[in-house]
């Protein structure tokens, strides 16, 4: 029960409480693997790399010598810290490989991403609720890649009910008919060579899953015509036979992901299968897929990936040989990419230069003194766009001080706090205001202090 409670606290971002429970379990049952693994998960999720490395080295030097999982986590921890590999100097030829590069070069997968795609081995939280912006960015990148690389289809078909809205969004943009596969006989109406099959989220073993028309979807994947908005537990896909991953993927995620119109039951409460509440029914938008998709057409038409996306397309064009065979054939008639020119170096004081400097603090947060804290706090107040990343760092230094800062910003008169800024601050407090009476919910949560009284989606501040 104690271990289950600690895991539930980890799921909802209550890392301090989980750590206290796990420390008690470790002291009472030293040498047991379960409390150690969950404590390592806490340290990983709060990105306390120093403590994580110390724990792992001690475990591997003691009762868990030769443990492959702990050894792999230690190697990853050294990578996250930017430190030396096992037993030697930092390799000068080593480079930081992004998730997009890794999946393309090793698995032949084009990763579109929603902004959470540029890191390697990111600790993903178990339940991630995709926003409407995530949908627009992912679909916009798919359309941009299709135009650049010459991907053409004659129809767009959703292979599961949750993907029907995605199929409608893409079909309208491509001026193609949209459909949803129902009975097995429906598959005969669509040629895998000319149909874009759209999935919401694919779990390991999807090739044989009748719920997503697995065998037919696999034929689409072999032809380079399967797009999955997300893949669940993406590492496990690599152990599957045949095409392990779809050729086009939006998010390489963890255990559970939700779309705005199709949310998992546990996302509304904040507990996962390891927690206290389980098997809640999904919350599904009752409108028709076409009506839901209509809310996205305008934003998608206005989507501009900017110079960064243009450079990504140029890089993808030059690495077509890494794509899965079917998608590589479909890219034979790719357009020659336009010259993008060199990217301007960030000027001193710019946001990009600040983010580069921030990475140094993120590797060694214990070096942040009071003067550095005040500088980071001033940037936190002045630059809302950087708040999620800054909150991650400031929490690791002084959680109580960060919480007090968030409360001060929320306590300002309503006319001084725009709704978008207020919503972002509430999310950093772990209280998602989507579709809720935010003021009443936050007041009730702060007053009662119970995790069960949080609002619809309870996520970590660092997700």
Residues 75, 104 within the same domain: no
The pLDDT value recorded for residue 463 is 28
| Cβ neighbours for 423, distance < 8 A, ≥ 6 positions apart | 433, 438
Residues 279, 388 within the same domain: no
The pLDDT value recorded for residue 391 is 82
Q: What is the DSSP letter of 98?
A: -
Q: What is the pLDDT of residues 394-418, one digit of tens each?
A: 888 888 888 889 888 888 887 888 7
**Structural domain total, the chain:** 3
Count of helices and strands (H, E) across the chain? 20, 10
Instruction: Find out whether 49 and 14 touch, Cβ atoms under 8 Å.
Output: no
pLDDT at 378 over 50: yes
Q: How sure is the predictor about 184, in pLDDT bands with cuts at 50, 70 and 90?
A: low
| Mean local confidence (pLDDT), 158-169 | 94
Residues 68, 207 within the same domain: no
pLDDT at 280 over 70: no
The pLDDT value recorded for residue 145 is 93
Residue 138 included in any domain: yes
What gap in Å lies between CA 136 and CA 133, rounded to an integer? 5
The pLDDT value recorded for residue 438 is 52
Q: How sure is the predictor about 289, in pLDDT bands with cuts at 50, 70 and 90?
A: very high
Residue given tokens 């009762």 in the structure block: 63
The SS3 assignment for 225 reads: coil
The pLDDT value recorded for residue 49 is 81
Instruction: Find out whether 258 and 121 touch, Cβ atoms under 8 Å.
Output: no
What gap in Å lies between CA 63 and CA 57, rounded to an integer? 11
Residue 252 included in any domain: yes
| Mean local confidence (pLDDT), 333-356 | 62
Tokens describing residue 124 = 């993903």
Q: Which of 27, 55, 81 is the last residue of a domain?
A: 81
Nearest to 49 by CA among 136, 123, 114: 123
What gap in Å lies between CA 170 and CA 297, rounded to an integer? 9
What gap in Å lies between CA 432 and CA 268, rounded to an integer? 10
The DSSP bridge partners found for residue 284 are: 262
Q: For strand 283-284 and strand 262-263, is the pairing parallel, antiparallel, or unpaired?
A: antiparallel
What gap in Å lies between CA 125 and CA 257, rounded to an integer? 9
More confident residue, 191 or 90: 191
More confident residue, 455 or 366: 366
Task: Give the distance from CA 338 to its chain's centroid.
Answer: 30
pLDDT at 172 over 50: yes
Instruction: Find out whether 40 and 15 touch, Cβ atoms under 8 Å.
Output: no
Residues 138, 69 within the same domain: no
389: part of which helix (H) or strand (E)? Answer: helix 387-397
* Exposed/middle/buried for residue 209 (C-beta within 10 Å: 0-12, 13-18, 19+): middle
**Count of CB atoms situated within 10 Å of the CB of 228:** 29
Residues 203, 301 within the same domain: yes
| Mean local confidence (pLDDT), 148-154 | 92
pLDDT at 242 over 70: no
In 253-339, which residue ranges form alpha helices assigned H by DSSP?
Answer: 265-269, 289-301, 306-318, 325-330
Nearest to 305 by CA among 93, 45, 113: 113
CATH number of the domain that residue 61 is part of: 1.25.40
Residue given tokens 């409460």 in the structure block: 269
Residue 344 included in any domain: no
pLDDT at 205 over 90: no
**Count of CB atoms situated within 10 Å of the CB of 457:** 25
Residues 51, 133 within the same domain: no
The pLDDT value recorded for residue 166 is 96
Q: Which of 30, 52, 81 is the last residue of a domain?
A: 81
Mean pLDDT value across the chain: 77
CATH number of the domain that residue 320 is part of: 3.40.50.2020
Say what percent of the chain tops pLDDT 90.
Answer: 25
| Mean local confidence (pLDDT), 20-39 | 90
Task: Give the distance from CA 353 to its chain's centroid.
Answer: 24
Tokens describing residue 197 = 């099959």
Residues 214, 300 within the same domain: yes
Residue 12 included in any domain: yes
Taking CA atoms, 107 is separated from 164, 299, 423, in Å, by 27, 31, 38
| Mean local confidence (pLDDT), 151-170 | 94
Residues 45, 140 within the same domain: no
Residue 63 included in any domain: yes
The pLDDT value recorded for residue 418 is 79
Residues 13, 145 within the same domain: no
Residue span of the structural domain in which 440 resides = 351-453
The pLDDT value recorded for residue 118 is 44
420: part of which helix (H) or strand (E)? Answer: helix 419-428
| Mean local confidence (pLDDT), 323-344 | 76
Residues 75, 210 within the same domain: no
Task: Give the distance from CA 5 to its chain's centroid.
Answer: 25
Residue 43 included in any domain: yes
Instruction: Find out whether 125 and 258 touch, Cβ atoms under 8 Å.
Output: no
What gap in Å lies between CA 256 and CA 129, rounded to an integer? 9
Residues 145, 227 within the same domain: yes
Instruction: Find out whether 138 and 112 touch, Cβ atoms under 8 Å.
Output: yes
What gap in Å lies between CA 358 and CA 365, rounded to an integer? 10
The pLDDT value recorded for residue 221 is 92
Q: How sure is the predictor about 127, in pLDDT bands with cuts at 50, 70 and 90?
A: low
Give the phi and the psi of residue 197 in degrees, each rounded to 5. -85, 130
Between 70-74, 207-211, 380-384, 443-447, the lowest mean confidence (pLDDT) is in 443-447
Q: What is the pTM of this model?
A: 0.59
Q: How sure is the predictor about 352, in pLDDT bands with cuts at 50, 70 and 90?
A: low
Q: What is the pLDDT of residues 212-233, one digit of tens each?
A: 788 899 999 999 999 999 888 7
The pLDDT value recorded for residue 441 is 53
pLDDT at 431 over 70: no
The pLDDT value recorded for residue 136 is 92
């Amino acid at each position: 029960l104690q271990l289950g409670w600690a895991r539930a606290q980890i799921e909802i971002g209550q890392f301090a409480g989980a750590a206290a429970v796990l420390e008690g379990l470790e002291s009472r049952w030293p040498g047991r693997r379960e409390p150690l693994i969950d404590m390592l998960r806490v340290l990983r999720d709060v990105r306390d790399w120093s403590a994580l490395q110390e724990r792992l080295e001690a475990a591997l030097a003691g009762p868990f010598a030769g443990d492959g999982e702990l050894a792999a986590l230690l190697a990853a921890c050294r990578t996250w810290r930017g430190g030396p590999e096992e037993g030697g100097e930092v390799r000068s030829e080593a480079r930081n490989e992004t998730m997009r590069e890794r999946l393309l070069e090793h698995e032949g997968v084009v990763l579109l991403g929603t902004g959470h795609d540029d890191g390697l081995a990111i600790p993903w939280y178990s339940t991630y609720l995709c926003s409407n912006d995530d949908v627009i960015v992912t679909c916009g990148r798919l359309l941009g890649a299709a135009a650049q690389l010459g991907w053409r289809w004659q129809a767009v078909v959703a292979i599961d009910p949750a993907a029907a809205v995605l199929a409608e969004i893409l079909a309208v943009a491509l001026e193609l008919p949209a459909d949803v596969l129902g009975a097995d006989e429906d598959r005969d109406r669509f040629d895998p060579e000319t149909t874009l099959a759209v999935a919401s989220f694919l779990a390991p073993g999807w090739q044989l899953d009748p719920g997503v028309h697995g065998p037919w979807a696999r034929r689409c994947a072999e032809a380079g015509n399967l797009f999955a908005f997300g893949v669940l537990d993406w590492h496990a896909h690599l152990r599957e036979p045949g095409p392990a991953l779809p050729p086009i993927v939006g998010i390489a995620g963890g255990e559970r992901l939700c779309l705005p119109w199709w949310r998992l039951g546990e996302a509304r409460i904040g507990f996962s299968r390891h927690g206290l509440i389980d098997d809640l029914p999904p919350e599904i938008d009752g409108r028709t897929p076409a009506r839901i998709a209509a809310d996205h057409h305008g934003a998608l038409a206005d989507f501009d990936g900017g110079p960064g996306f243009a450079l990504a397309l140029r890089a993808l064009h030059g690495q077509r040989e890494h794509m899965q065979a079917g998608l590589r054939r479909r890219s034979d008639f790719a357009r020659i990419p336009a010259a993008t020119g060199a990217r301007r170096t960030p000027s001193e004081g710019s946001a990009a230069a600040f983010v580069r400097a921030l990475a140094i603090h993120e590797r060694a947060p214990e070096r942040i003194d009071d003067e550095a804290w005040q500088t980071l706090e001033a940037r936190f107040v002045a630059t809302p766009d950087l708040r999620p990343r800054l909150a991650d760092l400031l929490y690791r230094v002084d959680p109580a001080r960060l919480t007090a800062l968030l409360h001060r910003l929320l306590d300002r008169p309503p006319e001084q706090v725009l709704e978008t800024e207020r919503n972002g601050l509430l999310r950093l407090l772990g209280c998602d205001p989507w579709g809720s009476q935010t003021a009443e919910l936050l007041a009730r949560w702060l007053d009662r202090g119970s995790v069960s009284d949080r609002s619809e989606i309870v996520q970590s501040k660092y997700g």
